[in-house]
Structure 1
Amino acid sequence: MTQLTDAGQKVFNARYALRDEQGHICETFEQAVSRLARVAASAEKEAQPHWEEKFASIIGDLLFVPSTPIWANMGKPDRPWQPSACFVLAVEDTLYSMYETLLSTALVFKSGGGVGYNFSTIRPRGSLVQSTKGKASGVVELIKLYNASSNMVMQGGVRRGASMGILNIDHPEIMNFIHAKLDGGLTNFNLSVGVTDAFMQALEQGEDWPLIFNGEVHDVLPAAVLWQSIVQSAHACGDPGIIFLDTIQKANPLPHKQLNCTNPCGEQPLFPGESCLLGSVNLARLIAEDGRINRALFKDTVSIAVRFLDNLIDVAEYPFPLIAEATRATRKIGLGFTGLADALIKAGLPYDSAEGRKYAGEIIELMQQSANDTSRALAEEKGCFPEWENSKFHPAEKIRNGTCVTIAPTGSVTTMAGCEGYGIEPIFAVAYKKSTNVAGDFEVFSPLFLEACQLYGVSNSILEEVARRGTCQGIKEIPVEIARIFKGAQDIAPADHILMQAEIQKHVDNAVSKTINLPGAATTEDIETCYRMAYSLGLKGITVFRDGCKEGTVTVGRQEDAPEKFVLRRGEILPRPVSAHGMTHRLDTGCGKLYLTVNYQPDSGEILETFITTGSDGGCLVYTEATSRLISLAIRGGISLEEIVEQLQGTHSCPSYMLAKGKGKNLSQGKSCASAIAYKIAEIKAELKKQFSDYNGAGEILVDDTLLCECGEKLERAEGCLICRSCGLSKC
């Protein structure tokens, strides 16, 4: 059993470990590995102990790391055994369907999954609604509703609900959709335009493009106008990305059905109702003595991992029957890898070289071959997936799973695995600045980079210059052998990012989640080049990100002139936040039950506001509402929480409170409703302080102060997500 790193242990404790009724951790990493292995082996009709040992071996040695929902759900007595990370749901053009899908989404989020939707069935804004003779709100307004709902539900209790919204390029509301995130909204959604071969042909030939709904042409625009709108919006804010619909359909294992939607990060095309479970092979731990992949161990790990994922489909408890039926009909699994950058560095191959891409291609080709071999063997042993006779495999190839290989985001997985490179991505940078409350600011280097520098005798003064720049490129004292290999994401040309994605995509059944990083000075023409290149190379989708195009995104190197912290002046009141995390507590008082909701900043644990309501057994509703409003106003006016608590605790005793206590009733701490509220707020503040201080100083990158991880550390952009190097959060 491999010992987790400090960061890996933090991820396990915060997100995956079993907890008792009081919320205390009651499971070690070794026990969790046994839990997963036991559950997966329970699907075997024979030799369960043998397979339990095999599963525990590859997971315990961190050769294979299952995805977050598997760790967080499977085998726990207090949670549904829901292993899937990827879901797609259908949205039809009726009010009932819209809200039914919204409820289904909440249930999926609760179980730990992310959801994708293709909104092209929704009538455009301003269309006549026959039943009411009113006008339709349209696609973007519906997405806003779904986005707001995501703020209310955490994915499996460990992360905010994440969604993908796709709209086909011929929908009449496509312009509104393209521009939907320019104002910074829809933070829980990734957006992608569904582009067809026909549109790309119209673009190449300079033709007009009709916008059609239900067979009716609503408008006609030059294809070039639509294309430039996509490019300009992506340049400004990173959205929308592009999904190439015909390319996805060509790889569809069930060609008679339309496949036009993916999960939130775009790597898993799915039919409505389908889900897919994920896991990653850890390339960093599969390196042989010659610096290359240990092929025998790699193939063995892949084979056992495929069986593990396939077994979980059978023992899973899905959010509702439709998902269970659709998932088991195709039995799609998504085996991928993490630590590609580590493997390339250890092999001495630059990420942006033809040799590096060739080596990466060989790895994924071997993975696909081994995964398919195992799936074929499982089909002989256990049977093909139920839709096999309608699939492209019939009748020549008996196979257990509709798809096997996916390159997914690996935020928490990578931290658990102890890798430097997330999934397919290069290392983010070779040097970072780490900020802590206790030790102040200090430099943190890529361990692999530092190891190479020590081997070549690079001096501390040169490392200081690397830290200042955030890169080792262009520093003449850095040996060529180091500089050619250690390139961060922003040191690599966008074309080389795309070429790596294209090389991997050749051997991936599903798709690849990756971010094409561009410097802040990149132009719209640069982004257009990326999009056209992605289409020509046969990618299923593409996400680009220009450095600094969103507030709070990553900046490599030191910020010499950091802005001053904002301070409220007398009489100023901060506006109510658009979204916040919250918790609700019941208080038992002399007047009956009170319910206190405290909302707080997800990045720092700072309390923002309160809501107080009374139970059905009494209490003064007007009093509690007034108290709640004044507490929230005081907080947003800059008054310290300690001062607010002190004032509330200083109120006189309430006769009803004293009478109830005299009768032996078990009441909340305090002598009045006001003091009970104060004591509970103080208790919540202490809990939040402890929770967030556990992570202080664990971040490893320098960013603006405006976008932070839930653990309080900075986020970086990778794999189509924002990822925290400290706690492993992946925010897509």
Structure 2
Amino acid sequence: MTATPSAADLPLMPSDLPDVVLNDNAKVVLARRYLRKDAEGKPYELPRELFWRVAAKIAAQEANFKGGKSKVAARAREYYDLLTSFKFLPNSPTLMNAGTDLGQLAACFVLPVGDSIEQIFDAVKHAALIHKSGGGTGFSFSRLRPTDARVGSTGGVASGPLSFLRIFNTATEQIKQGGTRRGANMGILRVDHPDILRFIRAKEREGELNNFNLSVGLTEAFMQAVDKDEEYDLVAPHNKSVVERLKAREVFALLVQKAWESGDPGMVFLDRINRDNPTPQLGEIEATNPCGEQPLLPYEACNLGSINLAAFYNADAREGIDWEGLKTVIHQSVRFLDNVIEASVYPLEQISEMVRTNRKIGLGLMGFADLLYQLGVAYNSQEGVSLAERLMAFIQDESKLASKALADERGPFPSFDGSTYAAKKQGPYRNATTTTIAPTGTLSILAGCSSGIEPLFALSFTRTVMDNDKLIEVNPYFEAAVKAAEAYSPKLMEEVAKVGSVQKLELLPPEIRRVFVTAMDIEPIWHLKMQAAFQKFTDNAVSKTVNLPSSATQEDIWDIYWKAYEYGCKGVTVYRDGCKASQVLCTGDGQEKKDGAAEDGKPKTVVRKRPDIVYGFTQKVDTGLGALYLTINEQDGKPFEVFATIGKSGKSITAKAEAIGRLVSLALRSGVEVRDIVEQLKGIGGEHPKFQKKILLQSIPDAVAWVLENRYMSGEKHASAHANGLVKETCPDCGEVLTFEEGCNCCKACGYTKCG
């Protein structure tokens, strides 16, 4: 292979290149997240230029191979048409960084965490480099010796995996991924590690380890012990000694309880994952990327892409699907993703070596729910599940044929001879894996389709646009179906927007209510059956959320977890509606029990005690009465107490400032929400208002409210956050309510995603 083509070798953008057709939401997401920006953060790149930049850079890799140089210009135009048709899109780092100086194009990484201080902090450093370049990281902490184990070199005792996990979390907090998003991590601990109970309870308090998704690595030996109601061994990884035995069902029940309370931790089935490990000669897979769909070896990375199934509906074709068009795009996409490996600049040499040894790619899909709507097939039906199997089997078969053709042209992946493919006399293939079903939150907004293989979260919803105007957005296939049934009206769309679903609107035809189901309309078992159907024909794993109503019980989650194991899933993530908001009230011992209750049975307000040491920050605010120094101390990332000091003012003003601080502190320590404090203080007038950073602060309480609001409520929309009587997480970028799907919180309005 020759060197990666330089900018001078890239094909020039043709003068007749058609422009990109984007909906309004896609324009906002492109501008916020993808277009290149100047020093002031203003985009200087047009959408057409972005897609040409990506197409040209990826096509230029053809020159690395014999006879490919003459094909670069044609490939660039082919890729531009492919991307701007939105039939296929690569993962976000490729759209952001292809053709730029950064040049890191992969989304998923796994790093090893060894059992020494040097290895642990090497992993912290390497994760920082990956986050800086725009990637997300997964770690197994299973090799670390347990809490209180002896450390031979110092004679001391180990602090255990959780203490180091917190260091990784803190480091992540300080780094912006590629300047656009916070780093995302997955932390995994084997169920037979002696610290497993601490790990399962690690996120009992909301705000703990907020930069990590956590999953317990379950083994088949453990699951068999659960089935037989037996004990199992906890094994210290550093010396393989059995340190304790636990009842498997009690551990499984605790895992279920914590998932019921908060959605964390999830679970991955390690033995199931390793049965599909194509290169066992290179090691065992111990961890996945942040959303769990990409199991990887240590120092391995994978670049992903997704095909938009909604674009392949054809009423005149077999089963209503353009199979030939889909086949063409699969082959184009596999070649594109293989070229991405050539083009990407990885942050570590070890990663470059592993990636080019196995050349894993992950072709997935989006728009599945929209395709079902067009076909008139219900998501929660055997017809829907069977279609999922046929579609994924087709994508798997064609992606393997495409990879085989590339191997004939370019050679197989270097570790092929020792792989399971060679042992089975399959291939040779260019790529060790070809299929993954990954989250597509922002990509699906660009493509104007539903996310991944998830059902729609709402058929219609209200989005806040500029000047707080409300815009009702409606799924186009639902709108068309209602109009065809002569049942459309603006009033109906408003009603649907209130709840997102049509299941209780009996005036609508039964067929519409049967087909147009949403995530919360669907029984959990159908979510799981759909995940298993796609997993059956996917090399890697599937990013999917099993949505549950708020009323779901722990027994319901036990049943889902057990069936996920029986169905052959590689992991499972559940989310009970509203569980994040109620988390404080249902931790291990029960918060209500800890806090106590009054004699009338009503919860008793308890002022939290102040610990000996708390940390915080001091902010100077210029007011009309002098410089206000506001010190805010925090616990678990939330404000705990406030001290207000104002310089060079009379004793009366000083006393008022101190009183405000004391009362705000009392409210915070009594559990009053920041938003409620801000609403009480904001806008209180005074005699000496003063501008602070273009904001008119009218008084000391108004200044306190301004600091609290900017620090803890950036972009929050109160009304939408309290939908259905449950407090919802809001987007830190635009303030709209976040939805939990594909294993991650994401924003349908601006494309923000907590998992990168």
TM-score band, normalised by the shorter chain? 0.7 to 0.9
Within 2, Cα distance between the matches of 1:243 and 1:4? 38
Which one of 507, 518, 525 corresponds to residue 495 of structure 1? 525
SS in 1 for 2:563: helix
Q: Does the 8 Å CA contact 1:414/1:728 hold for their aligned counterparts?
A: no
Give, in whole Å, the separation in 2 of the partners of 1:205 and 1:23.
59
**Partner residue in 1 for 2:377:** 349
2:373–2:478 Cα contact (<8 Å) kept: no
SS at match of 2:295: coil
* 1:246 is the counterpart of 2:253: no
1:315 aligns to 2:337 (yes or no): no
1:449 aligns to 2:472 (yes or no): no
The CA deviation at 1:530 is: 0.4
Note if 1:392 corresponds to 2:420: yes
Aligned match of 2:96: 72
Label 1:697 to 1:208 Cα distance change in 2 as closer, same or farther (>3 A). closer
Correspondence for 1:112: 134
Identity %: 39
Q: TM-score, normalised by structure 2?
A: 0.78
Tell me whether 336-345 or 14-23 shows the greater mean CA deviation.
14-23
Residue 347 of structure 1 and its aligned partner are, at CA, apart by 0.7
* Residue 205 of structure 2 is aligned to residue 176 of structure 1: no
Match of 1:424 in 2: 453
Indicate how the Cα distance of structure 1 residues 275 and 133 shifts in structure 2: closer, same or farther if over 3 A, else same: same
Among 163, 166, 188, the alignment partner of 2:185 is: 163
TM-score normalised by the chain length of structure 1: 0.80
Match for 1:484: what amino acid? Answer: R
Corresponding residue for residue 286 of structure 2: 260
Q: Secondary structure at the match of 1:129?
A: coil
**Distance apart, 1:459 and its partner CA:** 5.3
Deviations 1:340-393 (A, max 9, x none): 000110011000111111122222111111211111010010111111111112
Runs of 4+ more than 6 Å apart = 636-644, 646-650, 692-703
Cα offset for 1:260? 1.9
Letter aligned with residue 210 of structure 1: D
2: CA distance, partners of 1:476 / 1:83 = 49
Of 242, 257, 275, the match for 1:232 = 257
Q: 1:720 — aligned with what?
A: 743
| Matching residue within 363, 387, 407 for 2:437 | 407
Contact 1:432 1:701 in 2 (8 A): no
In the alignment, does 2:149 pair up with 1:121? no
Unaligned segments of structure 1, at least 5 residues: 554-573, 585-597, 610-628, 651-680
CA distance change for structure 1 residues 462 and 59 in 2, over 3 Å: closer, same or farther? closer
Which residue matches 2:546? Answer: 516
Partner residue, 1:333? 361
Match for residue 274 of structure 1?
A: 300
Q: Partner amino acid for 2:573?
A: T
Distance 1:551 1:698 in 2: 14
* 2:244 alignment partner, SS class: strand
Please state how far the C-alpha of 1:649 moved relative to its aligned partner.
Answer: 8.6
Aligned partner of 1:61 among 85, 97, 109: 85
Q: Give a deviation string over 1:148-195, Cα, whole Å, max 9, x none.
A: 222111222221111111111100000011111111211111111111
Selected match of 2:329 from 287, 298, 301: 301
Q: 1:382 to 1:110 in 2, by over 3 A?
A: same
1:369 to 388, 397, 402: 397
CA distance in 2, matches of 1:108, 1:449: 41
The Cα RMSD (Å) is 4.1
Q: Distance in 2 between matches of 1:701 and 1:286?
A: 35
Change over 3 Å in CA distance of 1:726–1:462 after alignment to 2: closer
- 1:138 matched residue in structure 2: 160
The answer (yes or no) to whether the contact 2:444–2:451 under 8 Å persists in 1 is yes
Distance 1:523 1:68, change over 3 A: same
134-143 or 510-519, larger mean C-alpha shift: 134-143
**Cα 1:255/1:238, change in 2 over 3 Å:** same
2:240 is aligned to 215
Q: Unpaired runs of 5+ in structure 2?
A: 1-18, 64-68, 584-609, 620-630, 643-656, 666-677, 693-702
Q: CA deviation at 1:470?
A: 3.3
Partners of 1:72 and 1:641 in 2: CA distance: 41
User: 2:198 is paired with a residue of what secondary structure?
Assistant: helix
| Amino acid across the alignment from 2:519 | A
Residues 294-333 of structure 1 deviation map (CA, whole Å, 9 limit, x = unaligned): 1121111111111111111112111110111111110001
> Which residue pairs with 1:44 in the alignment?
62
Q: Find the counterpart in structure 1 of residue 580 from structure 2.
A: 550
Per-residue deviation, 1:700? 13
SS at match of 2:515: coil
Counterpart CA distance in 1 for 2:76 and 2:368 is: 28
Q: Is the 8 A contact 2:88 2:306 kept in 1?
A: yes
**Residues 353 and 140 from structure 1, CA distance in 2 versus in 1: closer, same or farther, beyond 3 angstroms?**
same
> Which residue of structure 2 lines up, in the alignment, with residue 197 of structure 1?
220
1:87 equivalent in alignment to 2:114? no
Aligned residue in 1 for 2:32: 14
User: Within 2, Cα distance between the matches of 1:235 and 1:152?
Assistant: 30
1:105 Cα deviation (Å)?
A: 0.5
Q: Secondary structure of 2:531's match? A: helix
Q: Secondary structure at the match of 2:287?
A: coil
704-713 vs 240-249, which deviates more? 704-713
Task: State the shift of 1:130 in Å.
Answer: 2.4
SS at structure 1 position matched to 2:148: coil
Measured at CA, do residues 642 and 387 of structure 1 come closer, stay the same or move farther in structure 2, by a change above 3 Å? farther
Which of 474, 484, 487 lines up with 2:514 in the alignment? Answer: 484
Q: Is 1:541 aligned to 2:541, yes or no?
A: no
Query: What is the CA-CA distance between 1:695 and the residue it aligns to?
Result: 12
Q: 1:103 aligns with which of 111, 114, 125?
A: 125
The change in CA–CA distance for 1:70 and 1:93 in structure 2 (over 3 A counts) is same
Provide the residue aligned with 1:32 in structure 2. 50
What do the CA deviations read for 1:173-228 (whole angstroms, capped 9, x no partner)? 00011111111211111111111111111111121111011311111111111111
Are the aligned partners of 1:432 and 1:702 in contact in 2 as well (CA < 8 Å)?
A: no
Counterpart residue identity of residue 411, structure 1: G
1:150: which partner in 2?
A: 172
Match of 1:622 in 2: none
| 2-structure distance, mates of 1:640, 1:484 | 48
| Aligned counterparts of 1:450 and 1:245: Cα–Cα separation in 2 | 43
For 1:694 and 1:708, locate their aligned partners in 2 and report how far apart those are by CA, in whole Å: 6
Deviations 1:221-245 (A, max 9, x none): 1111111111111111111111011
Structure 2 distance, partners of 1:703, 1:318, is 46
Q: Tell me which amino acid in the other structure corresponds to 2:245.
A: V
Map of 1:631-670 to 2, 5 A cutoff?
none
Cα deviation, residue 141, structure 1? 1.6
Cα 1:303/1:695, change in 2 over 3 Å: farther
Q: Is the 8 A contact 2:532 2:569 kept in 1?
A: yes
Matches of 1:376 and 1:204, distance apart in 2 = 42
Corresponding position of 1:288 = 314
